[in-house]
Amino acid sequence: MNRIEEIYWLRCYGCLAVFGFHFLDRINQHLDHLALNLARIPTVLGTPSFIFISIFLFSARYGNAIPEGFLTNRVKYVMIPYLVYGLIYSTTEFVRVNAGDGEVGFVDNAVEYLLYAGWHGYFLIIAMQFYAFYWAYTRFALGRLLEPGPWLVIGSLISMGYWGLTRWLGIDPPGYLLWIAPLGWIYLFFLALLLVRHYPTPERVPLLGELARPRWLVAMTSLVVLLSLPGWLNYSSKETWVIPLFILFVLWTMTRLHGRPAPPLVRRINEHSFGIYLAHPLFFGVVDFWDRQLNFPLPLYALLLVVTGFAGSIGLNVLANRLTWGGLMFGKRLRVA
């Protein structure tokens, strides 16, 4: 498969967006300001970017010819890091709570993290479900019934309805079980299949070409900013307004960045993106520990989060991938030409 340069850009953006979302969460605990809310808007596209990329690449690489062992390999490289990091995060939370004024049982806390997907790695559960769906979609030729074009519209309505209704009804199951349900992300599956079908020139489809124009993305972003001013919006990837924003963003990205070579920095972030995604909150936690002891000024605290988060995550990823089972357990380093 030829290199798809725009995916390098999009993966880099998704990695920085997830990192930035958690960074702003930390800063928001020290400072509450409208500017922070506005800064969150581009960060909510991080998780949808990763899900979209995973479906897009497998569809572009394999088409309808799924190789033997596809699901087995996906389980191995997705679920083992999920379990390893989930156990690490649950253990550190157990230690943190019990070392303070709280009390939590080790097993109960581990169940919350691992069984109920109660940590930021819930994305891996979503991805695994769509890998299985992609296998079934191709294995049983479901494309005859679920055409990507019409089902992008239907899937978008389903996902928007899912997030809207669950918020309106106040549905709140344990952990992140609400978040990992595929109904909230189904639009990404059909968006990826549709763009693969028309790659590399989706703009030749009149409607896609029109929606890929920057004016629609600018208009949607402006509307989100306008609704943010009175505080009417929540900021996460699990909001109804994120769905049209992400679709417009991806259409613009995939048309405007096609064939534009990604620079070395973008490629380097791509190499370690999985490790950065999984590990950066661990190193944020190190900064938080020292901040409680030394009470850093906010600018220094922010700088330490960025430097420690990136350097620690990349360093761990490099070290882990030098060990025989390290990449399998702590996130495989991507091969970037």
DSSP codes of every residue in 209-261: HHHTSHHHHHHHHHHHHHHHTTT----SSSSTTHHHHHHHHHHHHHHHSTT-P
CA-based torsion, 249, 251, 252, 258: positive or negative = positive
**Interatomic CA distance for residues 331 and 274, integer angstroms:** 6
Confidence of residue 3 (pLDDT cuts 50, 70, 90): confident
Predicted confidence (pLDDT) per residue in 11-60, tens digit: 999 999 999 999 999 999 999 889 999 999 999 999 999 999 999 999 99
Residue-wise pLDDT tens digits, 147-200: 999 999 999 999 999 999 999 999 999 999 999 999 999 999 999 999 999 999
Cβ neighbours around 27 below 10 Å, total: 17
CA Rg, the chain, in Å? Answer: 20
Kindly report whether the global pTM for this prediction surpasses the value 0.85.
Answer: yes
**pLDDT score at 335:** 86
pLDDT in the model for residue 336: 85
The pLDDT of residue 290: 96
Task: Write the pLDDT tens digit of every residue in 272-325.
Answer: 999 999 999 999 999 999 999 999 999 999 999 999 999 999 999 999 999 989
pLDDT of residue 99: 86
Q: What is the structure's pLDDT at 174?
A: 92
Q: What is the pLDDT of residues 217-255, one digit of tens each?
A: 999 999 999 999 999 999 999 999 999 999 999 999 999
Computed over every residue of the chain, the mean pLDDT equals 95
The structure tokens 């379990």 sit at 83
Q: Give the pLDDT score at 101.
A: 78
Distance CA 69, CA 86 (A): 25
d(C-alpha 228, C-alpha 40), whole Å: 10
Give backbone dihedrals phi and psi of 40, rounded to 5 degrees, phi first.
-75, -25
pLDDT tier, 1 (very low <50, low <70, confident <90, very high otherwise): low
Contact in structure between 306 and 23 (CB atoms under 8 Å): yes
